Structure 1
Amino acid sequence: METKIDKASPVPLYHQLAELLQQEISSGRFQSGEKIPSENVLADLYRIGRPTVRQAIDSLVRKRLLVRRRGSGTFVAETPERVDLFSLAGTMASFKASKRAPKVILVEPPRRAKVISGISNPFSGTEAIYLSRRTLVEETPVLVEDIYLDARIFAGLENMKLEGISLSQLVEDSFHFVLTGGTQQFNITYPDTRLTELLDVRKSTPLLAVNRFLDSSLQQNAIYSDLFCRTDEFIFSQSLGGLSHG
């Protein structure tokens, strides 16, 4: 680290130090999860007071670039892994592309049910096959999916064992058609009592809520899902393809 603090500059010293530390993080000089020098070391290196150093670190903690660990020091924040949430290969395949293996557990096995709620749900007012499942990564719950499937084209699914099975693969192998596309709507919500228990979060924890509509080669909106995602373990993303011309 080079000493580049300009005490004659009108820019506050703490802001200058915060910028320097942020550059060190962006450049890879300080890696994700690595401990940075102590406040005393930084104060000596840049010939500034500890309160100024603490103010700079505080600003980077607020930006979630640094994290303090009591009794251990200050560390570069771990970067959450990215999961392509919109993947026709299915949720399980999306998580399996990450470095940590997922475990998908059925919360409610598939059953025929009258859908009586949900403004976005295309099956509202009709019967659908409903199931709910939870995804855990290293025993930490990260995602809950409430899934509704067209009861006509998925007849018999309620009698199948779905533990640990990819729905997209099941569609292809057992029902002999493929998922062709769909849409997603994103929102922020707060968990009810059920979700606080399933995701192990507080009611004040914001969740990424997704309404997912999937089309099959037989029918539009063949599958509808409400997804509730914790975002402290993973960054849920959506890949965009290039535009075609002609």
Structure 2
Amino acid sequence: MENLPQYRKLYEVLRKRILTGVYQEGDLLPSENELSAVYEMTRPTVRHALETLVKDGLIFKKQGKGSIVRKPPQNIGILSIAGTASAVGVRYLKTDILQKPAVQAWPEDFPFELSELEQESGCIYMERLRYVEEEPVFYDINHLPNIYLPRIAQRSFENKSLFEILRQNYQIEIIGGEQKLKAVKPTVKIGQLLHLKPGQPVLYMERKLTTNKENFHIYSTIYFNSEKHAIFGTF
């Protein structure tokens, strides 16, 4: 985290403590003065970190009290550029790795346009099944360009956030993206993975996320069981 802005360093510390349960729902965070003293940061820097946590839906401000930890909402912010773990909260999310990261050629019918460097480099392919409160909700297929990611196939992704691994180990940050979504009839495989009822449709999403690295995009195909969860986005 050496190269991160000061506010971002504090944000990362507080965010991790909230998502790992060090700070529980309803807990009061240390005051701006206390955080400023402990982390030797100015109050505007501390305030910037707290405002970012508010935007992520991890805390809310209450007049006369301060910053209070909130439970991630039942609605899931998958329409934002935040990752699933950030949108749901790691305390409520479990991940099974169906296909460990493996280097391969890009699919011929890939739905997004690739840069020349991405095309030449091949991709890192992985599949994950993600549970919210013990129920399968996301079947997540990822394609990453095989650049900037030394030894990523050797890392464990079990119950871990892909975005966190990219951010902490490879300094790759999400800065924007595009996506398409529609309701589709699931295949037998997807119906079984997501425990869908006969005839129940599934929400299908294609996402291309832009990062701070040139010629490096994150490509995701997501099947989402929306029976008990809505999705939302902030614009």
TM-score (norm 1): 0.59
Please, which of 148, 159, 167 is the counterpart of residue 153 of structure 1?
A: 148
Contact 1:144 1:229 in 2 (8 A): yes
1:88 aligns with 2:68: no
Structural mapping, 1:213-224, within 5 Å = 213-220=208-215, 222-224=217-219
Paired residues for 1:165-184 under 5 Å? 165-184=160-179
Question: How far off is 1:158 after superposition?
Answer: 1.2
Letter in 1 for 2:174: L
Q: Which runs of 5+ in 1 are unaligned?
A: 1-79, 241-246
Instruction: Give the secondary structure class of the aligned counterpart of 1:218.
Output: coil
Provide, for residues 193-243 of structure 1, a one-character-per-residue CA deviation record: whole Å limited to 9, x for no partner: 221121011462211111111111113551100010011110011111xxx
Q: Which has the higher contact order (CA 8 A, sep 6+)?
A: 2
RMSD in angstroms over aligned alpha carbons?
2.3
- Write the deviation string for residues 60-98 of structure 1: whole angstroms up to 9, x where unpaired: xxxxxxxxxxxxxxxxxxxx931111333311111118x
Q: TM-score, normalised by structure 2?
A: 0.61
Q: Whole-Å Cα distance in 1 between the matches of residues 230 and 98 of structure 2?
A: 23
* Partner residue in 1 for 2:133: 138
Runs of 4+ in 1 over 6 A off after TM superposition: none
Question: How many residues are aligned here?
Answer: 159
Could you tell me how far 1:144 is from its partner in structure 2?
0.7
* CA distance in 1 between partners of 2:172 and 2:131 (Å): 29
SS at match of 1:237: coil
Residues 2-35 of structure 1: CA deviation (Å, up to 9, x unaligned) = xxxxxxxxxxxxxxxxxxxxxxxxxxxxxxxxxx
More helix by share: 2
User: 1:229 maps to what in 2?
Assistant: 224
* Structure 2 runs not aligned, ≥5 long: 1-72
Does the alignment pair 1:101 with 2:92? Answer: yes
**Distance in 1, Cα, partners of 2:189 & 2:99:** 12
The higher radius of gyration belongs to 1
Is the contact between residue 112 and residue 130 of structure 1 (CA under 8 Å) also seen in structure 2? yes
Identity of aligned residues (%): 21
Contact 1:92 1:104 in 2 (8 A): no
